[in-house]
Structure 1
């Protein structure tokens, strides 16, 4: 049984306490749907909100569910034989940027088996964390991906990512040995997908992926201006040479 697509009108909050205090809160929106029944926004609004598998999870293919199965297989997990639901942003005018996408993978009986939290950075990189949340949606994992030029690739994430219902409440805390925790949250309430709600969401955060990327860069400039040291981006691994 598939789940009807929904919209969440959200509030995103970030709090950094060191080496300077910096926090912000923005309004936005996210889509929630079963991968087997993706939303189809009203035709006039479709250029401002549509989905492509290539925007999420590494690998070949144009089927998002197949990409989820490939990530699970890489972690030694059998493919999800039940619903896979996702919370994500959409493309707008040919551009996609979604800092956090979450997939909830269920068994045939509808029980949650695991979750995939995919993180994107503004450099075009992405990384998928496979998680096993408890009954309250809590999970932990080591940080393995360069997200911000102001945070090193170390520390441990504590996440609370319960699958959304009438309300959405995701919380992420990054803990390191020498700094106070960095905190981020996304909260919101659920709406059905109609022409009116889609238009309302677009007016709330026009051209959402473009706006999100611009906001991140703006706050990066603000942190740099405050003297926060920049952590160099790790070099990409050199290509392997094959001798013939």
Structure 2
């Protein structure tokens, strides 16, 4: 008879469902719960194996005939912005990012709703209510932060009280070896800012300042236009059957 220690994580497998990235493919996921005081250490360990977090669930793809999802992390100490990324940083000089404990607001949800309706109207998050959004932000037993990006006000260098309109939000975890971008969204009417790229660049610098080595971006799916942006940030490492391997291609 197998005896499970009460603190040993148990893993479960989802039923097949349509893949959101590759047409005609079916996806399955293996997952476990992140609960209790051991949740941060468990997330650190599982992230090394390519798991991601969603609320109090850690999951990774476990598809039967497809291995297209590849875990990606940026080597922040070696990253140097190129010409295009420097232009994006310059374009967003009027923004300030504030990192705080995860606390959902109606302003965040309003921006989230505009982003989803414009970019992912038929996706899995299209029906999320304000309560669902609050759970996504708050339901975490690891070190989670919310970073709000706003237009600078006249006194933004001294106080957050004068910051302007909210234009982007990132929900991110701080782990033992790096930061992990769990979810981010932005004003869909400000495409010229390249806000998604700007948030990644800002997270690279935040991770570096925390003295950590990696920024985890989740999964890159070759052949999916939605995921193509993730391999622009080099050098980075990809999780392969042999472990994490450097990717400069």
TM over 0.5: no
TM-score of the two chains, using structure 1 as the length reference? 0.30
TM-score of the two chains, using structure 2 as the length reference? 0.29
Structure ranking higher in helix proportion: 2
